[in-house]
Structure formats: structure tokens, C-alpha cells
A and B are shown apart, each in its own frame.
Chain A
Amino acid sequence: MRFTVVSFPGSNCDHDCVRVVDAVLGEQATLVRHTADDLGRPDVVLLPGGFSYGDYLRCGAIAARAPVMAAVRRFAEGGGPVLGICNGFQVLTECGLLPGALGRNAGLDFVCDDVWLTVEGQATPFTRGVPRERPLRVPVAHHDGCYFADDDTLARLEGEGQVIFRYADAAGRPDPTANPNGSRANIAGICNAAGNVVGMMPHPERCAEPLLGGVDGRLLFDAVRGVLS
């Protein structure tokens, strides 16, 4: 199975994504640069975290207009599974593949910590079969992860089952105190209407090996592998 990891100047989790795919999953990972017009026939596309183009202007705004994004858009519109993590989520909202926007954290500080996530929707290739009975423990690391959408959009997301992850406490309750960044409705991740494009602020690639203190993130990668094989 082939994963393409898109690398923008300033991406800094691109190699972490490659590592999960090849060293942990044992699948094939290809790094594709921002200037590429071809993704190399992938089965899955990952948009990694980092500070693409320094996050100057707005997080993800310049990357959303990078040449490679035309190919990402074609792949997504063809139904291919796309996962945007952290900066990758910001890029997906900036290019319109996902609704809403990510603003400065409510506390104004960068937040790096483990959070608990409830799995709200299983109708995406990255959450199919991921257990909903217990919350997942996954790290966040961002300065701009406060998810915002207007009331109509939010109602549509909730109504259509497009909210995929919510910040929760260890017992799985979406308590406001468990929200690290002030996101509306504790939203940590969403998908598009078709369900094949998912964006999330937490980093599943950072908790896919026991050595790093957790393996819940691996469930997402295993899910997409299961869907495609």
C-alpha cells in the first residue's frame, strides 16, 4: 500500500509520518515536494504537521496555494483518502476541502500535551472500526487549533455526522475543561461531506509506538489500511 506524504517548506512532521508508514506499518511511504504536480499514484495522502512557509500570513494559507495542492484536490475529489494532521488540517480548511477555520488558541499560548478524544464518526477511512467505547489518548502541539465555523456550518457538520473527533476528559465526556484551545463544540477533527477527507489537530503519528508512551494513534493508520486492503 502506498502512502504519499506531502512536504511543504517548513513542514516538520513529514518525516514522522513517513516513519509511521514504513517503520511501524511496514507500508510504502513517498515524500512529495510542494512543487510536484503528481502525487505518484498513492492509495492514501497525508498532509503533515509543521509550519508550512513559516505559517506566515495565516497558518496553511500559502501551502493551500502551492502547486502540489492541485493534485491533492484531484485525488480528494476522486474519493481518495486524505488525512490532514495539525498544519495539514489548517491547509485543508484554507484550500476549501474542509469547512471552517482554525484560529489562535483561546489561551493564546502554544499547547503541547496529551489530550483525550472521543471518536464521533466511523464513516471515514481513518476511523472505520476504531472503537468508540473509550476515548483515545493522542498528543496535540499547536498554537492555532481553535476550530471555528459559523452556526449554519456547525449545524450541518453535526447533522451530517462530519464531526469525527471531539476533545474529552479521560472518561470520554466532552467537557469544556478538556478543550485545549477553545474549539467550538470541542471539535478536534472533521471530515468532508463524502467522508474521504479528514482533518484533525491532534497527532496520531506521535502515538503509534509503545516506546513513545501510547499506541492509540496507530488505530487510525490501521483503519485506513484495513479499508483499502
Chain B
Amino acid sequence: MTPTPPYSPEVIRQHGLTPDEYARVEALLGRAPTWPELGVFSVMWSEHCAYKSSRVHLRRLPTKGARVIQGPGENAGVVDAGDGWAVVFKMESHNHPSFIEPYQGAATGVGGILRDVFTMGARPIALLNALRFGRPDHPRTPYLVKGVVGGIGGYGNCVGVPTVGGDASFDACYDGNILVNAFALGVARADRIFLGRAEGVGNPVFYVGSKTGRDGIHGATMASEEFGAGSEAKRPTVQVGDPFTEKLLIEASLEVMGADLLAGVQDMGAAGLTSSSCEMASRAGSGLVLDLDRVPMRETGMTPYELLLSESQERMLMVCKRGREDELLAIVRRWDLDVCEVGRVTDSGRFVCRWHGEVVVDVPVGALVDEAPCYDRPRTEPPPPTPLADADLPPMADAGADLRALLATPTIGSKRWIYRQYDHMVQTGTVIRPGAGDAAVVRLPETPRGVAMSVDCNGRYCALDPYAGAGLAVVESALNVACVGARPVAVTDCLNFASPERPAVMGAFAAAIDGIAAACAALETPVVSGNVSLYNETEGRGIHPTPMIGMVGLMDDAAAAVGSAFPAEGLAVVVLGDAPPALGGSAWLGLHGDALRGLPPRLDPDGARKVVDTLLAAHDAGLVESAHDVSEGGLAVALAECTFAHGVGVAADLSAGEGGLPARLFGEAIGTVVVATADRDALLALAQRRGVTAWFVGPTGGDRVVITVDERRVVDASVADLRAAWEGALPAVVAARAPVSGGGA
């Protein structure tokens, strides 16, 4: 039986509504909500849909710029790529489902982000992902790594969108809450962008794609027996992906859009039919009436409540231009997809759902969207990080052994085990493959241009100083993009935090927003899309603040892209940038104990901007043979990494560096770049003209990594030996035998 009001406090709580919020629902409606209406408010007022804890802070992000065609608020951001082309991109989290069921959780995360992009009329041309796992020796880590990587590959490979890059790291803070953040980028004509708007009174609304089942219904887990739903309600709530249907949906949707049949379109993502309908009506200032009994159903006996809240995958809602219905039906049916007219656009400003003619939902769209709760939650200022005294530093017995050990950690080690499982070449546009450069580069179809992409965030820096750490994620990703030769142009973010109800977490969130804002302003890279994922905590233990940044850059000539490794002997290695090396929060500190102490690297947005500009000027002048930014593990690790791809060694003299030996070798000078050049004098002169510090550290050549400081040879290791350690890092993690708990693939 469908429950009826009055609802018990327990039922209201299970719908994620506080007593005050529920009182507002009744006040806005002037009555108690029906059971399906309660479900609709539950999802529309959820943190996920309403951003109720984050909205007040997100407003501080810079979102405008000369290239921005569409900023936040739509399904994805859109940036002008020149000559009438636009790139459309977004990053989104699928953390919790991936922890429960790693293969399907990660797979459907890829499916969801792809739909956000092709919903805008863009053909997806690249996928990236940023992954955070628990400590490498946690018993569940191998299972999660294999499942997540398998799921991302299983979905992306089948839909035929190359997975060209990403980032993966390991830290105990993610033991109980892994992060799976998926990024997708598509390309469209700039004047052919489709918006998620229910425009045009009387226009028919079509449901396209997979049938609706009971998967992903929050209510199903919450309600269970209490509401007499029976055993059906107990099935797992993780959605199952069908990449084959997604592939058909991409082709059908782009064909329908190309034929100019649509007034608006949106995918059904989180909160399914409810959020897609309400958001489209809200953006257009219109209303919608839906006949829920017409929705294609996978199971019998489904109720309006379930149909509204199902998160079944691979579904779209299309508002068709009146009179073009037959053309839409013909195209969609040719792709063998389910399609059904389920409603109409109205001018009532109300979201109305009928069930066999009877009205079961009738609420003002504004109440669901504009009137959604927005909280400025209590927050405490993050405590300032405390500097490390020299006495707190671990002794460094053998720099060469430390270098090898750092390269053998899975966070720094080669990610080949991961990207070898992703088809990173389909669509024949991949110019810089995963592992080959600091950023991935794909060509912009039908042009000589390239798009560069990088995802980045160091959670330890953010834990020590959320303002600096978040800004540094922007700086690092911008430098990655500049290293391959592209101008950073815009950002998408995925803000992963613990519970917003803890003032310390909210304080870190607010500070991280300010750090991102400061860095994006200096680099002129507005935030055009993004996602917030809160409550990443288990048993009161939260993750490090992890504001993941996805940076997109553009270059006029994709063929000019360079890799990160030294391509030849006899080149000069130059370090650009004057960011001081920091040991606080460093990987080296982690090698010898607790890394979560000390001062993290300094955030210097203007300095980073100067390095980016200088590096791009050097690219333009043909002075860059390879470029690699200094990040985890510091300069010594960066130099070693540059030797692996081509087996070309280096002899570096770091006497001109700053600080003690550990800082010079392993201090993380975020904002500096290792450049190999054939014309050392020209590069140094160019840097000097621009007021950027640049120092020559030595020549490339030989088959060893040799580092000297003050005429002392502190590292002398064979490239082959270091490379073996670096390549073995990740295979060693996944080879560990682990109990497979929680079922799954």
C-alpha cells in the first residue's frame, strides 16, 4: 500500500529531510505531500541535487571569461575552441557506489559523465579519471583497484571513447571512502549547443533509452519492510551499466540533435526522471506534465514513487519541437532504442505527474529548485600549518635508496597497469597517450588543433592547508597542460569532502573554494562546470579535503605537442620557476613516517602564471624538447621520471638549489618545471626577459641518473634499475592476494 500522510518522523528522516525542511515542504504546498511528492522533495532537496551546503561558497568561484560559452548550471561547461568549434566538459564523482560495487560503480560513473557531455550536443572524444584508493596494503585495496579500473575500461572501451589520461594515488584516509571522479570532454559546433531546457508550451516530451527498473532507488533501501515493499525492495541499489545501449544513445541523440528536432534535452542522472524534468522546467521557467504510466518499465508492479526516483542508466528526456515527432521516432527506433512520448511542456510553472489519469504529483517547480534549502553551515577556520624544525626531519642515510623507494610507491609509480586496460586510441585522435606527457592531448576533429587535459589534486597539501592545497591543484594541472604546449583555458572541478555538518570540514571547504578562486583568477581559467561530493566519511573518519581539478588547454597545432621524457642525449636540462621546495606533506616525509605535518608548498598564483606564460613562449620559440612538472617526490623524482620512456639518462648538479639535501632532492616545489632544450642559452635568456628564475642543472645522456650537490655525488643509479622499481609499483599492489568481500564482479 502506498503510505499516506501524516508521515512519521522516522519516514521523514529516512527521506533525508530535517523536521524544519519537512515543515517548509508543507508550507510551500499548503498541505502534506503525497508519497511520490515526498520522494520528489527528498531527492530534489538532497545535498547531491541542491548543493545545499556548498551553494553559498560556490558563488565565489570565477566563472566568466572571453572563451566561456556556457558556465556552471547546465549539464556541462562549454568553451570556445576557435574556428566555430567548442569543447564541452565536466567532471563528476561516483565515489560511494564504487566503494560498494567497484566495477559497476565506476562503469556507471563513466556512463553518467558521458551523458552530461553528449546531452549538450557534443560528441565525446576523451575520458579521464582521477582515482583515490586507501593504503596499498589495506586488504580491500587490490579488489577495489581491479574492480574500478575494470569498470572504467569495460564501459569506456565499449562506447568507443578513448580514456586518455588520469591520476591515481593511495592514502590511508581513503581506506573507507575511495574516490572515483570521471571527466569527459566532447566537441561540438559552438552555435549548436543544446541546453537542458523544457522550452515551448505544448511541445511533447519523449523518454528515450533503457527501460526503467528499480535500481538506484534511495527509497528502496530506506523504506524496506516498514512500507510493505516486500523482498523486491531489498535488491542492491547500485545501478548496472550497459555501455552498448549508451553507444546507441550517443549516436541516436547526436543524430536527433543534428536534425534540429529538439527544443531541449537532458539525461536522467542522479534522481532520474525527477531531477531531469524539474531542472529542465526550472531553467526554462516552464512547467511539465508527465504520464508516468507511459514510461517504459523493466519490471512489473512499479509505482509512481519508484518511477520518479529510479536511477536506471542510459536514459534521456527530450523535448521535441512540435510537428517533428515522427522524425524523432524514426531516428530513435532505427537505433533500436525504446522511445515513448510521456508528457508535455506547460506554462503552469508546476511539475505534474499523472498515473493512469490521476494526478499524483502537483508541485511548483520553484519550490523544488529555487526554494531548495541553502545553508551557510557553521565552520571553523582551518588551523595554520606549523613549520617543521630541522630536528623533526628524518635522517637521510642514502639518497639513492630513497629515490628508488619513492619511485616504487604506487602513487608515484608508473600507471601503465591501469591505462593498458583502457582503450586510449579509439577515434584515432590521441596525440599524447597516457604516460607519455604531463597532460593528455587529443586532436580537435577536422582541425589541426589539439585539446590538452589533466586532472590533479594532492589531498595531503589540502589537509595541511586547504587554501594552498586547492590552489596548488589548479597550478599543477595548469602546468601539466602548459608542459605539453597548450594554453590552459578553463577548469572543471569535483570537490570531494567529508561531512559538511562538521565545522572543520566546512571551514576547509570554504578555504579550498578561495584557493581555487585565487589560482583560477591568476591563470585566467574560469570554472565552467563541476560537482560536489560530501559525506565522504566512514565511522566519523573523513577523507582529506580533495578538490579535484580538471584543466583543459588548447593548442593551435596538435603535432607540436611534446612529451615529458628526455627524447635525446645532449640536451640541456633547465628548471623553470622559483617555487621553493617544501617537505611538509611530501612523499619523502611519508616514506619515513607521518607525512601529514609541516608546511605544504606555497601557493603563488601570480608566480605560476608567469611560469605558464614563459613555458608557452618557450614552446612557441621551439625551445622545448620535453617538459615535466615537479610534483610528488620533488626534483629528483621528476628528473628520474624524465629518463624512463627513452632510456636517456641525466647528470644533474643541484648545488644551486635551496635548502638541505632532502629539500633539494625531494622537496616538492610545486610551480617549477623540468625542461629539456636544445638551446640552453636561448631558453635562459627568454626566462630572464620574463623575470622567471631558470637554472641549468645538467645535460641529458648516458644510462644513469646522476645527481651531485656541492661536488658530492648523492645519487648514481642506473635508469633501468630505477625504471624497474617504478614499473613494478602498481603490479605489486594488485598482485597482493586479498579477501574479496562485498561480492561483486
Contact = CB atoms under 8 A, between A and B. Distances in A.
Interface of A: 9-10, 12-13, 15-16, 19-20, 49-51, 53-56, 109-113, 139, 141, 143, 203, 205-206, 209-213
A16 B428 contact: yes
B244 A19 contact: no
Given A53-B244, A54-B244, A112 B424 contact: yes
Interface string B401-425: 0000000000000000001111111
A53 B159 CA distance: 11
Q: Which 8 interchain pairs have the tightest Cβ spacing?
A: A12-B160, A54-B244, A141-B423, A51-B158, A16-B428, A110-B421, A112-B423, A206-B425
Interface string B127-171: 000000000000000000000001001100111100000000000
A15 B243 contact: no
28 contacts: A9-B244, A9-B335, A12-B158, A13-B426, A16-B426, A16-B428, A19-B428, A51-B247, A54-B158, A54-B242, A54-B245, A55-B244, A109-B150, A109-B420, A110-B157, A110-B421, A110-B422, A112-B157, A112-B421, A112-B422, A112-B423, A112-B424, A139-B425, A141-B157, A141-B426, A206-B426, A211-B443, A212-B428
A205 B157 contact: no
B54 interface: no
B361 interface: no
Interface in B200-253: 242-245, 247-248
Contacts of A212: 425, 428-431
A107 to B, nearest CB: 10
Contacts of B426: 12-13, 16, 49, 141, 206
B336 interface: yes
Contacts of A16: 426-428
A70 B421 CA distance: 34
B433 interface: yes
Contacts of B243: 51, 54
Contacts of A20: 428
A150 to B, nearest CB: 30
Contacts of A15: 427
Given A16-B427, A54-B242, A110 B160 contact: no
Contacts of B336: 9
B559 interface: yes
Contacts of A209: 428
A10 B155 CA distance: 12
Contacts of A113: 420
Given A10-B244, A13-B426, A203-B425, 19 more contacts: A9-B247, A9-B336, A10-B158, A10-B247, A13-B160, A16-B426, A16-B428, A51-B160, A54-B242, A54-B243, A54-B244, A109-B421, A110-B422, A112-B420, A112-B421, A143-B157, A211-B431, A211-B558, A212-B428
Contacts of B245: 54
A111 B559 contact: no
A209 to B, nearest CB: 8
A182 to B, nearest CB: 15
Interface string B95-138: 00000000000000000000000000000000000000000000
Contacts of A13: 160, 426
A211 B420 contact: no
A13 B162 CA distance: 11
Given A110-B157, A110-B423, A112-B420, A9 B431 contact: no
A49 B245 CA distance: 17
Contacts, number: 83
A111 to B, nearest CB: 6
A39 to B, nearest CB: 19
Contacts of A50: 160
Contacts of A54: 158, 242-245
Interface of B: 150, 153-154, 157-160, 242-245, 247-248, 335-336, 419-431, 433, 443, 558-559
Nearest to B416: A113
Contacts of A51: 157-158, 160, 243-244, 247
A139 to B, nearest CB: 5
Contacts of B242: 54
Contacts of B421: 109-112
Nearest to A17: B428
Contacts of A56: 244
A206 B428 contact: yes
A111 B420 contact: yes
Contacts of B247: 9-10, 12, 51
Contacts of B419: 112
B476 to A, nearest CB: 26
B556 to A, nearest CB: 14
B609 to A, nearest CB: 30
A170 to B, nearest CB: 13
B433 A213 contact: yes
B625 to A, nearest CB: 16
B248 A9 contact: yes
A211 B424 CA distance: 15
Contacts of A211: 431, 443, 558-559
Contacts of A12: 158-160, 247, 426
Contacts of B433: 213
B150 to A, nearest CB: 8
A9 B428 CA distance: 19
A28 B498 CA distance: 56
A32 to B, nearest CB: 14
A112 B335 CA distance: 28
Nearest to B419: A112
A113 B126 CA distance: 17
Nearest to B153: A110
A10 B242 CA distance: 11
Residue among B244, B425, B433, B443 with most chain A CB within 10 A: B425
A141 B157 CA distance: 9
Nearest to B159: A12
Nearest to B434: A112
Residue among A12, A49, A205, A210 with most chain B CB within 10 A: A12
B151 to A, nearest CB: 11
A25 to B, nearest CB: 14
A149 to B, nearest CB: 26
A49 B242 CA distance: 18
A10 B245 CA distance: 8
Contacts of B425: 112, 139, 141, 203, 206, 212
B420 A55 contact: no
Nearest to A13: B426
A55 B158 contact: yes
Nearest to A16: B428
Contacts of A139: 425
Nearest to A7: B251
A53 B158 CA distance: 10
A84 B137 CA distance: 44
Contacts of B422: 110, 112
A50 B161 CA distance: 11
Residue among B158, B242, B243, B423 with most chain A CB within 10 A: B423
B102 to A, nearest CB: 15
